Structures are given as structure tokens and as C-alpha cells.
Structure 1
Amino acid sequence: MPEFTDPLTPRELGFSFPAEWFPHRATWLTFPHNDSSWQGDRLARMRPQYLAFIKAISQGENVGIIANDENLKKEISKELDKTGVDLSRIEFIVKPTNDAWCRDHGPAFLINKKTSEKMIVNWGHNAWGGKYPPYDDDNRTPEAVAEYLDIPVVNPGIIMEGGAVEFNGAGSLLTSKSCLLNPNRNPHLNQSQIEEKLSHFYGIEQVLWVEGGIVGDDTDGHIDDTTRFINEDTVIACVENDRNDENYGILQTNLEMLKKMRLVNGKQLNIVEIPMPKAVVIDDFRTPGSYANFLICNAGVIVPVFNNPNDQTAIDILEKAFPDRKIIPLAATEIIWGQGSFHCLSQQEPLI
């Protein structure tokens, strides 16, 4: 694995994190194998939904799977074959893993469009403020992927999670105060210092802040459950229409902040509101069910649905918002018990 030794930062060298709709070479996943997130029989119950997710991605790009050991790799291959997945689309890295949330511990890919180079940012991972140890094996995932792909890796030296940030591909990054300014991540850094790190290591020009996240989200408010860029100047923004719901106030606050934002080019955001699902409660637990936790991939937009009264409304809104992409609703009723969904489970690798 080449080591990034240039004294200039990725941004200074012309690298940036592309928007999710930029063409993918692959999407990376860390295959779930223990009950840290899905306890008891829930791991087995969520697996068919997870395999359906892999199959959907593989219709348009490769899927890189990080498997805990050789036995799991063989088991995955057999199950994917039975599911009808083209195994030529599947790539494996065999290494120890802790949990499944590849968006947060996996590789963050930067590209240089002028030189057609690619590199990985190895942000530190501490399991959302040290909530779920151990996490050391997951923390080594970006370097393992960089070695597999034989591309350089750069280490900013701070804690960062992919689910905490959204990109428009034109210089803007969107995030939440409740997460990135939480002292359980980088207590030695203030807001401007965090913005400087984001700028230099994601290759962006501005950081836009909303306030917080939704109920049931144990990440302290990841942006990918509330607000998502779908083109350079448009966001999907979650709203709660029930004033008595716990999410109503924070999502209204976020919405008002979004309305006041200006992009690098001075434009206001085009805001497409999408409802939250009716509270997704499983075994008396309010999960962070959200239609915003979709994955934009080559095959289309994979959207979590919950056998919920608002599912079809959300699908209709997303079909209008993505006129040139297929909307692929997939059941996430078992996956969401782990407190995340399709976007949280995945990290895209751009094609360049």
C-alpha cells in the first residue's frame, strides 16, 4: 500500500470527495457476523434483507465485501449464489471486523479528475464516541481496502464518520452540530478547526451545519438520516408532520437552517421535503427509521421501506426527485433494528 507522504493536503493537490451520484466502480460493505447490532435471532432474520441489498447494488456495479474470515467468505458466496447474484460482481477482502456499518468505518475515496488518481482518507473510528467497543478491527478497514486496491492512504488524525457528512460535489459539505461538535469525537478541536480538517481532507470549500438528528439514532445525529444532497443545489429534507412526535421540533429547526443556507455559488438550496415514516417501533424500541437513508448507486436509488403507511408517499416523492434514476424500494424492517439502514451499511468507490 503506497503511503501518502506529500506535504500538501489532498485539497491542495486537487483531490476531493465526489458526490454519491458520481459513477461507482464498486460499493463496499462489511458483512455482519456477530450480534453486536442484531441480537439473538435478529442477525439471521435480517440477512435476507441484507442479501437483497447486495443483489440490488450488483445490478450496476461491483460489490466489495469485507468478510471476517474464510469460512464466512464461503458462506456468503453460497448464499449470494442461491439469491441469484452474479458472483463475478463480488470482490472479497478477508480481515477481522467488529460491526457492519461500513459508511462510518470504511474507506472514504477521493479522486483527482485532472490526473485520474484515487486515494483513501483513513479517518479515525471510535464507534460513535466509544459507545460500542471493541472497534479496533473496523478502524483498520480503510488501510486494508487501500492495500487491496493499491492506492495511497492519507491519515488526518481525527475521528470522522461517513454518515455524518453529505456532499454536493461542488464544494459544499453538510453536517450536524450534534454529531461533529460532540466532545466524544474530537474534544481537542473547536468548530473552525474541524471545518479546516474537513476542507483539507475532503477537498471542499464550505461546511454547512444543521442542528441535530432523529430519535433512536445512536450516532448523535448523523446527517444521512435527515438531509441528503441529490444534486448540486437540491436536498431531500426529512420533516415530521405530527407536532406531538419527538422528531417534530428538531426537524423543523433543521429545515429553518436549511432555508437560510447559501451554497458556494451564492444559490439558496432547493429543498424537497419528505415525511418521516410513522414511528417504526420494534419490541418497544423506537428505531431511527428514515427514508433519507437511501443509497444512490449505478443501478438506481435503494430506499429503505418499513411496511409503513408513509412508504408509498416517500417513494412517489423520490421518483419525482430522481427523474433519471430508478427507485428501488427494499424492505428494511429487520435491518433497522440495528439502528441503521442501507446508507449506513455501505460506502461507494468512485469510478475513475
Structure 2
Amino acid sequence: MTTTPRAAGFHMPAEWTPHAGCYMAWPVREALWGDGIEAARDAYAAVASAISRFEPLTMLVCPDLMANARERLPASVKVEEMSQDDSWARDFLPTFLVDGAGKVAGADWQFNCWGKKFPDYAEDAKVAERLLDRLGARRFAAPFVLEGGAIHVDGEGTILTSEECLLHPNRNPGLSKAEIEAHLKEWLGGDTVLWLGQGYEDDDTDGHIDEIACFAAPGKVLINDCQDPADINYARFQDNIRRLELAKDAKGRQIEIIRLPQPTLRTHDGVRLTLSYTNFYIANGGVVMSAFDDPADAKAKDIIARCFPDREIVQLPALAITRGGGGIHCITQQLPKGEIAR
């Protein structure tokens, strides 16, 4: 029988707890980025540079792109070879876990490329195991499909996710909602799962939670809000807000809901972009978040600054990243501070 992280005393910590560092993966899939791949690389480099001001950052890079990455990245960013198919570190790197003694291990989710959106993902499916082996860290191999962007935790037993993604038939068609919820509790060390409904229209991830909502603190959730009743996202986001209004977390608290504005609708190649201000990275002493050259940028930054008053807010142009189907949270993965569990 597989030993779960919970059984071994591990859980996923909140993203605002101290980090030993951060990992990213260098853009490689030309079929995804097309003529925007160089702009994406520049944007990834800017995010890496910003995060490296606050904590160590390691960029995982395909062997044939090492020179390309090293040339664009500042000396403060470490570059390591890693064969991969894509560049969404949140989803195919391990989700790092900690135990009560401060030891760090990793959950290795089964990765099927967001429901087989691309046929070639064999290398991405091996990255988590390879990285944990490189670190010498204990690996918990999950018996189900999951991506890191589909989950968020408060570090006190509450897990936030979405039905659109986790119940989608392209992920775990043989599992019921109750079975998936039980898996989440065992593998993330949680006690309560808060289920939101749907994410953005045309979201390639099928409703990843990091595009919809995230914890700002225990009992406090930042969530995307749409104020235009004619927008298809209006009903979706209002439903998500209603669900949170009725919810209680693992400690029995009502959820404090903080609404973030939805940026102006934009499309790329005829597809709506998932422009989300919840898709940010919390670093040691800082928050690195997106700007979309939108009137709502300043308001969103102010809201997030009030949620994290002890951190510097760094807002970076992110349209080049979003055109690939995600945001700053999607391209990063934090390594919690602690001793590696062997």
C-alpha cells in the first residue's frame, strides 16, 4: 500500500511561509508560443530576475537552450539542465511538502499535460521525479492526475480547488468527487476542501484555481470578480463568490472575501486571454504579480499590497506569458525552507 504524505506526517505549507528558493522552467515548446517565444523568454527572465532579489532562483533549461537562457538571465539566477517539453513549472514540478520537524519532501503528481492538450509530454512527466532525485528528497508518487496550479492551501488544513478542473473527464475519469477530495486531504495534509465551480472562459487549464482565487492568509481569499453581466465570466465568478460566502474553512471560520477586478477582455489568435491578478508569486519579502497594460492594474496592485503589507509588491508586464495560457504563479514553484527529507 502506498504511504501518503499525511500518513508520514507531511503537508503542503502555505505559500507565504519562508522559502529556500524558487524553481522555474525555460520556454521551449515552439508549438505553443509560435512567434511569441522570444517575448515569452524575455518575460520569464524578468520574473526570474525579480524573484531572485528576494530568494535564490533556479531555472531548469533544456540542454540545447542553456546558452540562450544564460545569456538572458542575470548572474543571480542559477541555470540547471533539465530535459522538458514545456515551461509551466507549477504544474509538472513536485509540490513540496513539510513535516512537523521542518523536513522537506515532494509530491510527484501524475502529469498528463492538462488532459493531453499536447501529445508530447513524456519529459515533463518525469521532471518531478528527476528534481527530487537531484535534491535527494523523499518522493511521494501520487496515484492520480493533478497539477500544482489546480490547488491552493492556507497551511492550516484548508484546500481550495475547482470542480471544472479536478472533475474534468480528461484528468481522473474513474474517480468520484468524494474520492478526489479524499486524495487531496491525504496528499496535501488537509482537512477541508473548498470547491469553487468554473474558471475563465477558454482557459487551457480547464479552470485552474490559481487563475480564479488564492489564499492571502488563513481565512482570507482573493478572488476574481467580473462586474459585466453580459460577460460569460460574470455568472461563473458570481457563483464562485457565493460558494465562498457559504463556506467555512478547516478551523470553522467564515471566509473573508477580497475581490480583485477582471481586466479588460483581450484575445490572442481569436481566443480570450485568462488575465488574472490572483496568479502571483509570493517570495520572501515580496510579491511578484502581473500587469496587463490595463486600467485595473493599479487597483489590483493596491489590493494585493494591503493583503501583504510586509512585502514589496513588484508588478511586471505579463501579457507575453498569458498568451501562452498562464501567469506568474503558473511558471514558478516554491521550495520551502527546511532540511531535505531523505
* TM-score (normalised: structure 1): 0.93
**Contact 1:59 / 1:299 at 8 angstroms: preserved in 2?**
no
Residue 85 (structure 2) pairs with residue 90 (structure 1): no
| Matching residue within 254, 262, 276 for 1:276 | 262
- Which residues in structure 2 correspond to 1:276-315 (within 5 Å)? 276-315=262-301
SS at match of 2:193: strand
**Contact 2:85 / 2:124 at 8 angstroms: preserved in 1?**
yes
Residue in 2 aligned with 1:170? 156
Residue 106 (structure 2) pairs with residue 112 (structure 1): no
For 1:72 and 1:97, locate their aligned partners in 2 and report how far apart those are by CA, in whole Å. Answer: 11
* TM-score (normalised: structure 2): 0.96
**Contact 1:106 / 1:142 at 8 angstroms: preserved in 2?**
yes
Gaps of 5+ in 2: none
For 1:280 and 1:351, locate their aligned partners in 2 and report how far apart those are by CA, in whole Å. Answer: 38
Q: CA deviation at 1:10?
A: 1.4
**Contact 1:53 / 1:330 at 8 angstroms: preserved in 2?**
yes
For 1:98 and 1:36, locate their aligned partners in 2 and report how far apart those are by CA, in whole Å. Answer: 11
**Contact 2:219 / 2:256 at 8 angstroms: preserved in 1?**
yes
**Contact 1:56 / 1:299 at 8 angstroms: preserved in 2?**
no
**Contact 2:212 / 2:224 at 8 angstroms: preserved in 1?**
yes
Residue 19 (structure 2) pairs with residue 33 (structure 1): no
- Which residues in structure 2 correspond to 1:123-138 (within 5 Å)? 123-138=109-124
For 1:133 and 1:263, locate their aligned partners in 2 and report how far apart those are by CA, in whole Å. Answer: 38
SS at match of 2:221: strand
Q: CA deviation at 1:283?
A: 4.3
Matched to 1:79, the amino acid is R
Residue 61 (structure 2) pairs with residue 72 (structure 1): no
For 1:199 and 1:270, locate their aligned partners in 2 and report how far apart those are by CA, in whole Å. Answer: 22
1:63-110 deviations in Å (ceiling 9; x for gaps): 1221111x4223212221xxxx233x4151x23211111111111111
Q: CA deviation at 1:302?
A: 0.9
**Contact 1:280 / 1:306 at 8 angstroms: preserved in 2?**
no
Q: CA deviation at 1:338?
A: 0.5
Residue 15 (structure 2) pairs with residue 20 (structure 1): yes
Matched to 1:86, the amino acid is A
SS at match of 1:344: helix
**Contact 1:29 / 1:100 at 8 angstroms: preserved in 2?**
yes
1:287-311 deviations in Å (ceiling 9; x for gaps): 1111111111114111111101111
Residue in 1 aligned with 2:145? 159
Between Structure 1 and Structure 2, how many residues are aligned? 338
Residue in 2 aligned with 1:200? 186
| Matching residue within 264, 278, 283 for 2:250 | 264
For 1:36 and 1:16, locate their aligned partners in 2 and report how far apart those are by CA, in whole Å. Answer: 36
For 1:242 and 1:228, locate their aligned partners in 2 and report how far apart those are by CA, in whole Å. Answer: 22
CA RMSD for the aligned pairs?
Answer: 1.4
Q: 1:91 to 1:47 in 2, by over 3 A?
A: closer
1:94-135 deviations in Å (ceiling 9; x for gaps): 232111111111111111132x22111110010111111211
**Contact 2:70 / 2:79 at 8 angstroms: preserved in 1?**
no
For 2:202 and 2:19, locate their aligned partners in 1 and report how far apart those are by CA, in whole Å. Answer: 31
SS at match of 2:290: strand
SS at match of 1:72: helix
**Contact 2:61 / 2:79 at 8 angstroms: preserved in 1?**
no
Residue 210 (structure 2) pairs with residue 224 (structure 1): yes
Percent of counterpart pairs with the same letter? 35
For 2:302 and 2:221, locate their aligned partners in 1 and report how far apart those are by CA, in whole Å. Answer: 16
SS at match of 1:90: strand
